[in-house]
Amino acid sequence: MSRSSRSFRIAATATLAALGLLATACGGGEGGSSDAGSDGKPVTITYWTWTGGAKATVDEFNRTHKNIQVKFTEIPGGADGYSKLSSGVKAGNAPDVATVEYQMVPEFASQGNLVDLTEHAGDTVKEKFPKPIQDLVTFGGKTWTVPFDAAPQVYYYRTDLFKKYGIEVPKTWDEFRVAAEKVKKADKNVRLANMPKSDPALLASLSWQAGGKWFSTQGDAWKPGVDDAASKKVAAYWDGLVKDDLVQSYTGYSPEETKARVEGTTLSFLGASWSAAGMKTNLPDLAGKWAAAPMPHWGTPASGNYGGSSYGVLKGSKNVAAAAEFITWLTTNGDAVKARLSDPKKPSSALPANPEMRAVAAAKFDTAYFGGQDLYKLASEQVDTIVPGWTWGPNQMDVYTAIQDESAKTGFAGGVTAGQAKAKSGIQERGLKLAE
């Protein structure tokens, strides 16, 4: 751990230089800080997110805090949500607090969209979160956002149908293919899993697990590796499964994908701890029939982050101190965790990035859906298997779009090739250095 942490500190400084952030505060000087309630009146801050349980946490915060009140707005996730946030910064009407996924922190920081939170939350991040998680939000000694959740990969499967088809839970990707062949042979209408071509974040996590490194830095220059050997291996593996009709390729989170799970024509899927909340909402009649296991691996237990989010204060905020206080409460207070998991309309099963909060979440989470299985214990164990050394790039969203578009046309191998090309061109277009 110490060796990888030291390596990341060196890489983080280089990353900041490559982002062009060493000489500027990157928006830190734009957001004023104000003491909550210093004039005797409550400070009202705005909060935009798409994450589950957000409304319930805001209600709980407002109920228990007099000096700060939060106005919540739900926005879409993905590209649309980030476009809305970026537009808000440009127009001067961005929210004080917003969710920023880990892969977007370098990009948002380099674009000047984030306030430097070192003064207000730097100590909290250092004291409350594991070093590998800190490294996702801290560059060159500056804290840009505060971690919300960890998202190691989790493999979900139908216990009743695995028993029906005589399938053992695959521990490796070789075993996964064998199981997929067995399922297809037993029933031509059933497949072991679905691998969407519309979810580049999933492909990224699988590449991460295999040892890929989509971005790295050399001095103050970026070196993209979206099509490195590990990523090509992953792409070829899934292209092979699709070609041999051993897995489905429904669009991720589509009605077709959900229908296949409901009808039992998809027996398992690749997810993370946050997937469980959607299962309980979208597949309520299948309670007690699902279980979770570590993701199959390439020979040694390993995981990549499949998503994961943090909270940042956006440039232009006039209430940085109040916003930071709200963020600290969201990420380190047990009452926030309890409220998030109790939201009846949009529940959450995200694994807290703060280890102290995981026990709170585990105690609150209803395990009945998974037959009493402790999902949080499993997910916490997988955090320790996340492969170190992964760096997100300065134009990650464009890279994702390129991968998604080309994967839909030619397959995953074409997707990582297109992603690499976009990574290179995007770095140069942003005026950043590209390693030779």
Residues 86 and 163 in one domain: no
Q: Is residue 385 part of a domain?
A: no
d(CA 351, CA 303): 15
Q: How, if at all, do strands 433-434 and 221-224 pair?
A: parallel
293: β partners: 155
Tokens 């440039």 belong to 315
Residues 347 and 399 in one domain: no
Residues 120 and 232 in one domain: no
Residues 271 and 348 in one domain: no
Asked whether 316 and 115 are in contact (CB, 8 A), the reply is no
Residue 361: the pLDDT is 93
Residue 58: the pLDDT is 98
pLDDT < 50 regions, the chain: 1-13, 22-36
Residue 345: the pLDDT is 80
Residues 295 and 234 in one domain: yes
Residue 33: the pLDDT is 40
What the block records as the tokens of 92 is 């001067």
Residues 119 and 223 in one domain: no
Dihedral of CA atoms 380, 214, 276, 376 in degrees, nearest 10, equals 0
Q: Is residue 380 part of a domain?
A: no
Residues 115 and 229 in one domain: no
Q: Is residue 241 part of a domain?
A: yes
Q: Is residue 370 part of a domain?
A: no
Domain that holds residue 112: 2-150+307-353
**Domain boundary residue among 296, 330, 353?**
353
Q: Is residue 369 part of a domain?
A: no
Residue 11: the pLDDT is 46
Residue 360: the pLDDT is 94
Task: For residue 113, give the nearest of 268, 315, 276, 295 by alpha carbon.
Answer: 315
What the block records as the tokens of 227 is 């099509």
d(CA 31, CA 316): 5
Number of domains forming the structure of the chain: 2
Residues 162 and 236 in one domain: yes
Q: Is residue 384 part of a domain?
A: no
Residues 53 and 102 in one domain: yes
Q: For the domain that residue 427 is a member of, what is the CATH number?
A: 3.40.190.10
d(CA 14, CA 106): 12
Residue 37: the pLDDT is 52
First-to-final CA distance of the chain: 30
Residue 3: the pLDDT is 34
Residues 215 and 284 in one domain: yes
Residues 190 and 221 in one domain: yes
Residue 420: the pLDDT is 98
Residues 275 and 180 in one domain: yes
Residue 131: the pLDDT is 87
Q: Is residue 367 part of a domain?
A: no
